[in-house]
């Protein structure tokens, strides 16, 4: 898009984000783009059909909430803070799983209702929670929301996996989690204890993720899996009763605590002496 269109689009997203839930008010927009200012104040123009369409969409949204808009120009040298913020938005954790894989996950364990860690660019579902203020997000900060009323999909930054498990336990929620097979992490035994179905590995391909600046660095991405987890004891106990056979080799003592045996032999781990195998990996 032309820079004038991008400036107008940024203004639209800001209005929809920060005026969500507001109505019957007047709003002054300060922009460092004179063309965008003119189109907003004139409710359109005759030079660019794309700018006119963007302006119409902005005004229709505002008028539906009885909001009156006005815009004024400020020089770029004065617009220091906002301009700096607009250039620093590089979230390396905002990864989107390939839609084909998500559809397979949704068919297997869905219907999934809320994408817990997403943005308007990476969400897989119409309902999602965002990290930063977002014009289309249902709410901001997933950890401040209640999860037990819906089945959620979580593809969080890996440093938050432990918090996700804690939230699921505390709220007795049910979540389909995408997380690494990291047997050395302190949260890994807890993850095994919260399974209500068999986990399934994801393929290691360059197209596994979309919309991330690091998507091409698959050499840095660990083996990932989809983990169906629950904070409801009955669901977990029902699954654990389905598990069969200890992983112990002949002559070895039976494992009494969670032990992890991964990748080479196809086991997610061992829980209370019973092995938990991975299902056949998803295919791209």
Vertex 263: Cα angle to 257 and 265 (nearest 5): 75
Asked whether residue 262 carries a pLDDT value surpassing 90, the answer given is: no
Q: How many CB atoms lie within 10 A of CB 242?
A: 9
Task: HSE, CB side, 13 Å, CA atoms: give it for residue 21.
Answer: 6
Q: Are residues 46 and 103 in the same domain?
A: no
Q: Are residues 102 and 205 in the same domain?
A: yes
How many domains does one find in the chain? 2
* Confidence category of residue 242, pLDDT binned at 50, 70, 90: confident
User: What average pLDDT does the segment 85-106 reach?
Assistant: 80
Q: Are residues 136 and 205 in the same domain?
A: yes
Residue 126 falls inside a structural domain: yes
| Cα 67 from chain centroid (whole Å) | 31
Higher pLDDT, 280 or 99: 99
- The pLDDT of residue 78 is 85
Instruction: Give the end-to-end CA distance of the chain in Å, rounded to a whole number.
Output: 32
User: Which is nearest to 227 in space by CA: 140, 153, 158, 173?
Assistant: 153
pLDDT in tens, 184-200: 899 999 999 999 999 99
Give me the domain span that covers residue 45: 3-87
Q: Are residues 165 and 213 in the same domain?
A: yes
Highest mean pLDDT among 14-28, 86-100, 234-248: 14-28
Tell me which DSSP letter residue 259 carries: B
Residue 279 falls inside a structural domain: no
Among the candidates 87, 109, 138, a domain finishes at 87
Q: Which CATH number do you get for residue 108? A: 3.40.50
Q: Are residues 192 and 107 in the same domain?
A: yes
Contact, 53 vs 45, CB < 8 A?
Answer: no
Report residue 263 as tokens: 């990748």
pLDDT in tens, 118-171: 998 899 999 999 988 888 899 999 999 999 999 999 999 999 999 999 999 999
Residue 259 falls inside a structural domain: no
Q: Are residues 33 and 115 in the same domain?
A: no
Report residue 95 as tokens: 């990864």
At CB < 8 A and 24+ separation, what contacts does 83-87 make?
83/32, 86/10
pLDDT in tens, 102-114: 999 999 999 999 9
Vertex 151: Cα angle to 267 and 168 (nearest 5): 65
Q: Are residues 108 and 24 in the same domain?
A: no
Contact, 129 vs 117, CB < 8 A?
Answer: yes
Scanning the chain, the segments in alpha helix (DSSP H) are 3-18, 34-41, 49-64, 80-87, 99-109, 161-171, 188-193, 233-242
Q: Are residues 107 and 238 in the same domain?
A: yes
Asked whether residue 261 carries a pLDDT value surpassing 50, the answer given is: no
Task: Please state, for a pLDDT cut of 70, what percent of the chain lies above it.
Answer: 86
pLDDT in tens, 109-129: 999 999 999 998 899 999 999
Q: Are residues 125 and 69 in the same domain?
A: no
pTM over cut 0.85 = no
Residue 247 falls inside a structural domain: no
User: What average pLDDT does the segment 37-43 reach?
Assistant: 94
How much is the mean pLDDT over the chain?
85
Among the candidates 40, 58, 87, a domain finishes at 87
Asked whether residue 276 carries a pLDDT value surpassing 90, the answer given is: no
Q: Are residues 108 and 219 in the same domain?
A: yes
């Amino acid at each position: 898009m032309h820079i004038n269109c991008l400036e107008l689009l940024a203004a639209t997203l800001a209005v929809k984000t920060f005026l969500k839930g507001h109505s019957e008010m007047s709003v002054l927009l300060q922009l460092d783009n004179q063309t965008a200012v003119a189109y907003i104040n004139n409710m359109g123009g005759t030079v660019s059909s794309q700018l006119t369409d963007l302006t119409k969409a902005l005004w229709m949204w505002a008028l539906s909430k009885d909001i009156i808009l006005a815009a004024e120009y400020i020089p770029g040298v004065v617009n220091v803070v906002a301009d700096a913020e607009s250039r620093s938005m590089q979230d390396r954790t905002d990864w989107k799983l390939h839609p084909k894989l998500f559809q397979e996950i949704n068919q297997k364990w869905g219907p999934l209702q809320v994408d817990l860690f997403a943005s308007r660019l990476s969400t897989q579902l119409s309902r999602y929670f965002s990290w930063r203020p977002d014009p289309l997000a249902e709410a901001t900060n997933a950890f401040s929301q209640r999860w037990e009323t819906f089945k959620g999909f979580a593809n969080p930054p890996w440093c938050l996996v432990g918090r996700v498990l804690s939230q699921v336990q505390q709220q007795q929620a049910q979540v389909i989690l995408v997380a690494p097979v990291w047997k050395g992490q302190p949260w890994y035994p807890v993850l095994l204890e919260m399974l209500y179905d068999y986990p399934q590995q994801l393929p290691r391909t360059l197209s596994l993720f979309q919309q991330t600046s690091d998507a091409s660095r698959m050499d840095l991405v660990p083996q990932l899996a989809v983990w169906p987890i629950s904070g409801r004891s009955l669901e977990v106990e029902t699954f654990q009763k389905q598990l069969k056979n200890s992983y112990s080799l002949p002559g070895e003592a039976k494992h009494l605590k969670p032990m992890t045996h991964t990748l080479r032999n196809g086991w997610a781990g061992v829980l209370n002496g019973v092995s938990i195998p991975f299902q056949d990996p998803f295919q791209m």
